[in-house]
Structure 1
Amino acid sequence: MITFSINDKEVQGEEGWTVLDAARWHGIDIPSLCHHPCLEPYGACRLCVVEVDDGRRTRVVISCMYPIKDGIKVMTATPRVNNVRRWIVQLLLDESPNSPQIRELAKTFGVTPSRFKKSGVDFACHLCGLCVRACHEVVGTKALTFGNRGLKKEITSPFHVGSKECISCGTCLYICPTGAMEKLFDQIRAA
């Protein structure tokens, strides 16, 4: 067992756990949009940031990717952490103002819309990658992928063609936190 602290409370965790795993095991809430216990950590949303003091320095890290270590001190709601989360929620809210999940986070962090220019598309998808990863890691197919880059990044089928890999299992529909996959499902399946 590895012993360390979260919010000045001594906790223990198993070898191989991340800070997010340990926090959730001990009932400590750390927000995240792209994490699912059945999938490998991805670190896309960055909402799970925490401040870690490893004895040499203190830094902000993403808890879903940061492994627990003996003696580290983790703080989940410092001013630095909350500032990073507010910026992330601001960007997400401007991209997906109708997403219930994003609106709830905005309320929690006191964020209002329109600080940045909107893309003009409210698709509700915030590119967490849960659907793509579930398709690859759980179902074992590669029917979904990320297409394009930057502001044009999207969830699609490989080469934007109906995917023959799709077995219509619905895993992507089930795991999608915003319901955006319902709009994409028929496009992705093979015609």
Structure 2
Amino acid sequence: MSEQHPFGAPVTFQVEGRPYEAHYGDGLLETLRKYGYEVPSLCHHEAVSPYGACRLCLVEVVDKRGRRKITTSCNFPVQPGIDVRLDTPDVVRHRRVVLELLLAMAPRSPELQALAAEHGVTTGRLEPDETAEDCILCGLCERVCREVVGANAIAMSARGTAKKMTTPYDAENPACIACGACVYVCPTKCIGLEEADGQRTIVRWGRTLPLAVCEQTGRAFTPRFLLEHYAQELGGLDEKVFRKAPPYR
């Protein structure tokens, strides 16, 4: 009879043969990083659910029976008795192929170029798409907009080579509060935020909103619509708290 472990129970697993402790079901990628292991990733952020889109966080997992498989570590749960191998020849080879694919999708991204160079990839076998917008379809912007901000302003559209991250009907979406969270988490910096003449524009989504002015400093600090959104979401707060920039509240 196999040993049963309830979700969240303490378990022991191995990394390159060394024993470590974690909780059953913990995300493997975050657990590895907690113990100081460097595993590359472009689509993972601890604030949102794992997605496994970029495929860079590949590791080899050997189970109790000696069965091996290469898997993304961001959405793989820690399990008792597994042995995780980080840089086997197969893992390195698969990761380099993934980097070549990503470079073809985002050939102008300095962040991606630097990461690829760290792993010995400077050119790819694929012709770069010079018309690409440097989006690698990692889904981070959509997840942070939906799961953290709660605006649900963007989504993945279409399939195959036409697949892209966009707003409904490729038009300015009134649900966008121009908070900039999508800009902050984008690993290739392809979304863009501009502020000028008292307005903030999220470039990729074509969303422009007027900025509120801090009544203490007289400086613009965030979109008015964003403040109205959170005043409604949080409820019960004195409306005056939103008249000042955070350091002066």
**TM-score, L = length of structure 2:** 0.72
Name the SS of the counterpart of 1:3 in structure 2.
Answer: strand
Runs (4 or more) in structure 1 with deviation over 4 Å come to: none
Whole-angstrom distance in 2 between the partners of 1:23 and 1:34? 16
CA RMSD of aligned residues (A): 1.8
Between the two proteins, what is the percent identity of the paired residues? 40
1:189 to 187, 201, 207: 207
In the other structure, the counterpart of 1:82 is 92
In the other structure, the counterpart of 1:169 is 179
In the other structure, the counterpart of 2:105 is 95
| Deviation at residue 31 of structure 1 after TM alignment | 0.5
1:58 to 51, 57, 68: 68
Whole-angstrom distance in 1 between the partners of 2:90 and 2:206? 40
2:53 to 44, 47, 70: 44
- Mapped pair 1:130 → 2:146: no
In the other structure, the counterpart of 1:5 is 14
In the other structure, the counterpart of 1:119 is 129
Name the SS of the counterpart of 2:54 in structure 1.
Answer: coil
Change (3 A) 1:152 1:72: same
Whole-angstrom distance in 2 between the partners of 1:109 and 1:152? 29
**CA deviation map 1:30-87 (0-9, x unaligned):** 1110000011000000100100001231110110111111110000110010011000
Q: Which runs of 5+ in 2 are unaligned?
A: 1-9, 194-200, 210-249
Larger radius of gyration: 2
Whole-angstrom distance in 2 between the partners of 1:190 and 1:108? 37
In the other structure, the counterpart of 2:158 is 148
Higher relative contact order (CA 8 A, sep 6+): 1
More strand by share: 2
Amino acid at match of 2:207: R
In the other structure, the counterpart of 1:157 is 167
Change (3 A) 1:140 1:8: same
Name the SS of the counterpart of 1:23 in structure 2.
Answer: helix
- More displaced stretch, 58-67 vs 142-151: 142-151
Q: How many residues align?
A: 191
Contact 1:146-1:153 within 8 A present in 2 as well: yes
